Amino acid sequence: MARVAFEGVTKVYGDGTRAVDALDLEIADGEFMVLVGPSGCGKTTALRMVAGLEEITDGVVRIGDRVVNDLSPKSRDIAMVFQSYALYPHLSVYDNIGFALKIKRTPKSEIERRVGEAARTLDLEALLKRKPRALSGGQRQRVAMGRAIVREPAAFLMDEPLSNLDAKLRVQMRADIKKLQSDLGVTTIYVTHDQVEAMTMGHRVAVMRKGKLQQAAAPQELYDNPANVFVGGFIGSPAMNMLEARIERRDGALAAVLGEAAVPLDDETLVRRPALAAYEGRDVVLGIRPEDLDDASLTNGDGLPRLSGRVEIREALGSEMLVHFTVAARQAMTDEVRELAEDVGDDRMLEQYMTGTQAAVATLVGRFAPRTRVLEGEAVEVSIDRRALHFFDPGTGLAIA
């Protein structure tokens, strides 16, 4: 058991690409830390640098108090679960799990005991004699886990271990891994591109983008207070709506103006975000989560600010209705927004960004109550929970706090 620390860790490849850029992150002893981000963000490279499978260009990685930069993987006391599981095809499940112990010349009886224990924990006892090709995907995943836990290492490193499983199995395994980690209390670094996985499993989640750490915090904190546009748009599904707005004084009070609508800013917002006052007369990026939008006719005039729009598409989920609607406002167009669109495959937004033409209308997504009666093609009044407005500087992308 040990802490793991990245101190200014950088990885530059021969052709100049900076896969990881000055990463500073500390993972406490026994913590479950998830590294999440779109592909190419450097999360796997960072993990492999801890494992010793990638050379560290600059900076220091510590496991415990030791600097491990120059240690080979076998001397670092870590265990790794690979995305492809990397089970040795020519060895049985028993031999696979016990492999590392055999290399260390652990006595046979000891190997038997520990492999047996790991097999019991992961429900693999009936499969010990089989070879990997005779196992299902889920079983192979568990063998890969077994191989890691039997070593009782200082840290677990997991590289997208669930991405090759089908959806239902994935949900089950998420819970299993989380419980396992909690029982064993081993420091764990877990890499995934799936933000749902990140949010449900981690004690803390570190969001990465283009090699740089964006924000590392507990899941709820990331959700409530994203540090920048990227984190705001990455965490949460459907993604946060990002709009162009201008802070203006209307009727003596500050309001966020989008298109024709003006959303007054109440005192609570201004208290929480004192820097917002300095943005009077300037543009900002306004972020509203879909769950903070609802059918105004249902919220019954609680004095909530409203937007007028037209419904494009409804998606009935049963527990709620996802409504895509247009408003006369402009979509925020920043680098981060574009990258998020790329990640999700939103071609329309990408096209707008490429051609530089912003439509005069933006499409927003809202999570309405299931009993909403809005219909496609019709006008709709949407209420905004103004306590949950997010503001970002259009230039830096940072949250205005």
Partner 1 sequence: MSSSALTGEHSEAARTRGLRVPRGLAFVLPYLPFLVVFGIAPTIYALDLAFTNVSGGWVGLHNFVRTYHDYRFVPAFRHILLYTTVWLAALVVLVVGLVLLLHGRVGRTSSTFRFLYYIPGALAGAASVLVWLFMLDPVVSPGSFLLHHVFGAHIFAQSIAPSHLPYVFAMIAFWTGAGGWIVVMYGALNTIPPDLEEAARIDGAGPFTIALRLKLPLIRKWIAYMVILSFATGTQLFVEPQLVNQASLGLVPDTWSANQLAYQLAFRYADFNAAAAIAADLLLIGLVAATVIVAWTGLFRVED
Partner 2 sequence: MRNAALGVRLLVLVAFAAFFILPVVWLVLAPTKSDGALVTHSPLSFGSFHQVWLAWRHLDAFSDHIYRRWILNSLFYSLSATAITVAVGIPAGYGLALGSFPGRRVVLTLTLVAMIMPSAALVLPIFLELDALHLIGSVFSVILPFSFFPFGVYLAYIYYATSLPKDLLDSARVDGCGEWQTFRRIALPLAKPVVALVFFFSFVADWNNFFLPLTVLADSKQYPIQVGLSDLLSSTPSFNPAQGGGGQSVNIFRPELALATLLAVVPVAVVFLVSQRALVRGMLGGAVKQ
Binding site for partner 1 (CB under 8 A): 8, 58-60, 67-72, 75
Task: Return the range that interacts with partner 2 (CB under 8 A); candidates 87-95, 207-215, 218-226, 377-385.
Answer: 87-95
Touching partner 2, residues 189-218 (CB under 8 A): none
Instruction: Write out the two tokens for 134.
Output: 């005779």
Q: How far is the CB of 132 from partner 2 (least distance, A)?
A: 11
Partner from partner 2, partner 1, none binding residue 80, C-beta < 5-8 Å depending on class? partner 2
CA distance 32 to 292: 29
Q: How far is the CB of 90 from partner 2 (least distance, A)?
A: 5
Q: Does 100 bind partner 2 (CB under 8 A)?
A: yes
CA distance 390 to 256: 11
Q: Does 84 bind partner 2 (CB under 8 A)?
A: yes
CA distance 93 to 116: 11
DSSP labels for 192-245?
ES-HHHHHHH-SEEEEEETTEEEEEE-HHHHHHS-SBHHHHHHSSSSPPEEEEE
Partner from partner 1, partner 2, none binding residue 74, C-beta < 5-8 Å depending on class? partner 2
Please report, for residues 179, 193, 237, the alpha-carbon distance to residue 197 in angstroms, rounded to integers and kept in the order given. 14, 8, 12
Instruction: Name residues whose C-beta falls within 8 Å of residue 176's C-beta, 6 or more positions apart in sequence.
Output: none
Task: Return the range that interacts with partner 2 (CB under 8 A); candidates 12-20, 97-105, 200-208, 289-297.
Answer: 97-105
Q: How far is the CB of 58 from partner 2 (least distance, A)?
A: 21
Please report, for residues 88, 119, 125, 212, 375, the alpha-carbon distance to residue 112 in angstroms, rounded to integers and kept in the order given. 19, 10, 12, 44, 64
Position among 14, 16, 89, 301 found at the interface with partner 2 (CB under 8 A): 89
Q: Does 79 bind partner 2 (CB under 8 A)?
A: yes
**Residues 165/141, Cβ–Cβ less than 8 Å:** yes
Q: Does 72 bind partner 2 (CB under 8 A)?
A: yes
**Residues 1/198, Cβ–Cβ less than 8 Å:** no
Residue type, 111: I
Q: How far is the CB of 335 from partner 2 (least distance, A)?
A: 33
**Binding track over 137-166 against partner 2, x by CB under 8 A:** ----------x---x---------------
Instruction: Name residues whose C-beta falls within 8 Å of residue 267's C-beta, 6 or more positions apart in sequence.
Output: none
Q: Does 78 bind partner 2 (CB under 8 A)?
A: yes
Neighbours of 131 (CB within 10 A): 16
Instruction: Write out the two tokens for 375.
Output: 């219909």
Partner from partner 2, partner 1, none binding residue 59, C-beta < 5-8 Å depending on class? partner 1
Q: Phi and psi of 57, rounded to 5°?
A: -75, -45
Q: Phi and psi of 10, rounded to 5°?
A: -130, 145
Q: Does 371 bind partner 2 (CB under 8 A)?
A: no
Q: Does 82 bind partner 2 (CB under 8 A)?
A: yes
Compare residues 67 and 375 and give the one whose CB is closer to partner 1.
Answer: 67
Position among 15, 39, 90, 109 found at the interface with partner 2 (CB under 8 A): 90
Give the residue among 381, 364, 380 at the shortest CA–CA distance from 322.
364
Position among 1, 13, 17, 88 found at the interface with partner 2 (CB under 8 A): 88
Partner from partner 2, partner 1, none binding residue 373, C-beta < 5-8 Å depending on class? none
Q: Does 14 bind partner 2 (CB under 8 A)?
A: no
Partner from partner 2, partner 1, none binding residue 147, C-beta < 5-8 Å depending on class? partner 2
Size of the site for partner 2 (CB under 8 A): 22
**Residues 232/392, Cβ–Cβ less than 8 Å:** yes
Q: Does 57 bind partner 2 (CB under 8 A)?
A: no
Q: How far is the CB of 25 from partner 2 (least distance, A)?
A: 21
Task: Return the range that interacts with partner 2 (CB under 8 A); candidates 6-14, 16-24, 85-93, 242-250.
Answer: 85-93
**Residues 59/80, Cβ–Cβ less than 8 Å:** no
Q: How far is the CB of 75 from partner 1 (least distance, A)?
A: 7
CA distance 142 to 147: 9
Contacts with partner 2 by CB under 8 A lie at 51-53, 72-74, 78-80, 82-84, 86, 88-90, 99-100, 103-104, 147, 151
